Amino acid sequence: MEFRAHPLIFAVIAGGIERGAFHANVFAGGDIRSGRQDVTHLAVQNAIQVGQAFRAAVIRMERTRCFGSCPAYILIIYGDGRVEYISKEDKKAAAKQGTIAPGAVKALLAQFASAKFLSLPDYLFEECTCRQCTDLPSTITEINVQGTTHRVRHDYGCGCAPEALFELESAIDKAANVEQWTGDTSKRGPAGTTCFQPKDLKH
């Protein structure tokens, strides 16, 4: 049976290859039961493929400009720990490279799972039904695991996004240690903003 990526792949990867033989049953339909000592050949094969999917995972996050001094860049994190940073402020600057521990990638994938990332929609300013604020940046987060890709565009001017999405975006920055390239960004941000409720929420 061919292994195919599934939303629960994130939970499998987060669980680690050492438990992959059990978790692979979720995807492959293998005859594995909690507590059994024997492991079918099918489940072992799928556990190996889970490990391959982990190493092939790609996380991409882009932060856009705002009306002000918001940092703008692209981060790409690979399952093997490679990191790429591309500045969108200085287009002449070469891409930067770094590395993180495989465990840090695994922790990020676990956070994608806990945030239920694959079920999240886009949060676009022009389609927002919650509080709206002008002149704020956006973050575009994408993950690809074994051919399954999901992207979420998060306009910070839309108040509908869950806290888990903000936390995931911050975790990606932290895992990559992005401030080694951007410097301290704590004093950078929009020059100002105006907030309001969309018309369909007004009484």
| pLDDT by 10-residue block (mean), the chain, 203 residues | 45 47 40 44 56 82 94 95 93 90 90 91 94 95 88 96 97 96 89 81 48
> What backbone phi and psi angles, to 5 degrees, belong to 101?
-70, 145
* Per-residue DSSP letter, 147: T
From residue 62, how far is each of 88, 98, 139 by CA, in Å? 9, 17, 6
Q: C-alpha angle 194/163/166, rounded to 5°?
A: 75
pTM, two decimals, is 0.77
> What backbone phi and psi angles, to 5 degrees, belong to 165?
-70, -45
